[in-house]
């Protein structure tokens, strides 16, 4: 008679097997919605993390609240550097799962975990040691400098757990399991919400309490996720038998993941520069920018989740040499994303004033309302293109052609949006309208580049094409 633990392992293995079969042969719309729904919920949970911290910290003082917002781009930059790990992991592992090369996938998973640990420890040490210099270079002084440094140094301690969970997430997504990450993230967010007031007020730790609550909740997330993988009978889990760091496999993971890391990190720097341009137009423009972005992020969450779900679908079907199904997945995801964008566009245009007044509770500055309505009109028109952007990114990341998604991410900001803002600011009298136009136009132009890549570049070439099951050899050298 099977024990409860053994029964759970059998169920886990059966679920992942069924999910792979669904991805490789099921109804494509069912596949897309099955995988994307937990991702969408997970994204909302991630937003809850920062929202809960902000709410509790704002109860201390405005300076404490400002300190969290002030160092956020720095924290985002370091996390973005590690974002290539889940992208490379999902691309490589999903193609191996689709090709049925599970033994090699398990060896790759072990290398991914080791790389995540090494990279995260290096990043955490670098961040901790450089924090005082970074905070001063950003212009902080007095209480803002002291509080920003305290918060930043503590949150750098969570980088090993963030990177470790990146590896866990890659393994789960590669198998088509997007539900487990949603449950784990939900539990972690709930723990964070419980710990925040205890650490901040009950223990009297103040801002440091908010930082430690985040670190502890993410540590639990990473540890529980890792144990879940190691102690279950999922088809794909890391195999550390006779483990040694394989430089060739690590190099391959870095080769595929580096463009994504560069793209994400470059985007974080670009948005920091972008915020500087916006601030030059005054607080009303800056407030309008922040509020409307929050609205559009909420509206486009389903389309964003569709693009992220596409990564595993594309990877597994390329691994299984089902290119027709890859293109079917892309076309149907694109259709759904565009329809979501069109619906969002119509809703924002028709109900623009009620939406703005709902999110802007303070009515003390009419200029904020005016700027928000203008920006909302411009960004509403570009919502379908935002959906297209996310779908192209999912396609290229799933195929392992991450340099194309990097080009889209970096090019949108550094080659189109920022230069256009400078040109319009210098040679026209558009004022803040130039910012809103640049935001929308950059989305359109980037999608044209994505389409050009789709039609002319070799993105559909499998990164495991022609390779057989040969243990832990790297895909680029296995024969």
**Length reported for the chain:** 479
Rounded-to-integer distance, Cα 179 and Cα 187, Å: 13
Which residue ranges make up each domain of the chain? 38-258, 280-464
Q: Say what the pLDDT of residue 11 is.
A: 44
Q: 208 — phi, psi (to 5°)?
A: -60, -35
How far, in Å, are 89, 463, 470 from residue 476 at the CA level?
A: 15, 8, 12
Angle at 40 between CA 362 and CA 160, to 5 degrees: 95
CA-nearest of 395, 390, 385, 386 to 454 is 395
Angle at 315 between CA 314 and CA 321, to 5 degrees: 85
Q: What is the mean pLDDT of the chain?
A: 87
Q: Say what the pLDDT of residue 127 is.
A: 94
CA 133 remoteness from chain centre: 27
Q: How far apart are the first and last CA of the chain?
A: 43
Rounded-to-integer distance, Cα 387 and Cα 399, Å: 19
What is residue 350's DSSP assignment? Answer: H
CA-nearest of 177, 161, 284, 154 to 224 is 161
Q: Say what the pLDDT of residue 472 is.
A: 43
CA 53 remoteness from chain centre: 19
Torsion of CA 259, 47, 226, 79, to 10 degrees: 30
Token pair in block for residue 428: 């026209």
CA-nearest of 178, 169, 176, 185 to 86 is 169
Q: Say what the pLDDT of residue 60 is.
A: 87
Ranges of residues in the chain whose predicted pLDDT is under 50: 1-8, 10-11, 466-479
Rounded-to-integer distance, Cα 367 and Cα 441, Å: 24
Rounded-to-integer distance, Cα 76 and Cα 72, Å: 6
Taking the whole predicted model, whether its pTM rises above 0.85 is answered as no
Token pair in block for residue 15: 């679920």
Q: 19 — phi, psi (to 5°)?
A: -65, -40
The three-state secondary structure class of 419 is: helix
């Amino acid at each position: 008679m099977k024990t409860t633990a053994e029964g759970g392992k059998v169920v886990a293995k059966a679920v992942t097997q069924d999910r792979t079969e669904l991805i490789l042969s099921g109804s494509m719309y069912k596949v897309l919605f099955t995988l994307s729904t937990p991702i969408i919920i997970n994204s909302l949970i991630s937003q809850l993390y920062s929202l809960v911290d902000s709410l509790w910290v704002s109860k201390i003082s405005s300076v404490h609240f400002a300190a969290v917002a002030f160092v956020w781009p720095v924290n985002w930059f370091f996390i973005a550097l590690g974002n290539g790990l889940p992208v490379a992991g999902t691309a490589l592992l999903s193609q191996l799962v689709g090709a049925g090369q599970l033994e090699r996938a398990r060896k790759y998973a072990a290398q991914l975990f080791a790389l995540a640990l090494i990279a995260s420890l290096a990043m955490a040490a670098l961040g901790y040691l450089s924090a005082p210099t970074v905070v001063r270079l950003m212009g902080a002084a007095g209480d803002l400098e002291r509080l920003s440094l305290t918060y930043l140094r503590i949150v750098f301690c969570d980088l090993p757990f963030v990177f470790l969970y990146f590896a866990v997430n890659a393994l789960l997504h590669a198998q088509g399991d997007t539900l487990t990450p949603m449950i784990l993230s939900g539990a972690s967010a709930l723990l964070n919400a419980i710990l925040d007031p205890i650490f901040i007020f009950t223990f009297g730790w103040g801002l440091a309490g908010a930082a430690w609550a985040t670190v502890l909740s993410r540590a639990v997330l990473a540890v529980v996720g890792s144990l879940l993988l190691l102690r279950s009978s999922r088809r794909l889990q890391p195999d550390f038998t006779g483990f040694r760091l394989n430089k060739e496999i690590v190099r391959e993971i870095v080769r595929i993941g580096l463009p994504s890391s560069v793209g994400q990190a470059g985007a974080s720097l670009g948005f920091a520069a972008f915020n500087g341009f916006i601030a030059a137009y005054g607080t009303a423009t800056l407030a309008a920018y922040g509020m409307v972005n929050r609205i559009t992020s909420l509206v486009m969450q389903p389309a964003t989740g569709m693009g992220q779900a596409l990564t595993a679908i594309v990877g597994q079907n390329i691994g299984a040499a089902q290119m027709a199904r890859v293109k079917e997945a892309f076309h149907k995801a694109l259709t759904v994303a565009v329809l979501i964008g069109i619906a969002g566009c119509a809703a924002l245009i028709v109900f623009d004033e009620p939406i703005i007044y709902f999110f802007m509770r303070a009515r003390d500055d009419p200029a904020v309302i005016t700027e928000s309505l203008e920006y909302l009109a411009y960004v509403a028109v570009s919502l379908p293109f935002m959906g297209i952007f996310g779908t192209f990114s999912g396609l290229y990341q799933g195929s392992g052609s991450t340099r194309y998604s990097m080009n889209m991410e970096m090019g949108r900001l550094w080659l189109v949006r920022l230069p256009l803002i400078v040109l319009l600011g210098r040679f026209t009298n558009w004022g803040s309208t130039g910012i809103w136009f640049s935001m929308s136009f950059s989305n359109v132009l980037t999608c044209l580049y994505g389409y050009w890549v789709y039609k002319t570049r070799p993105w559909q070439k499998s990164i495991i094409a022609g390779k057989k099951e040969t243990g832990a050899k790297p895909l680029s050298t296995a024969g």
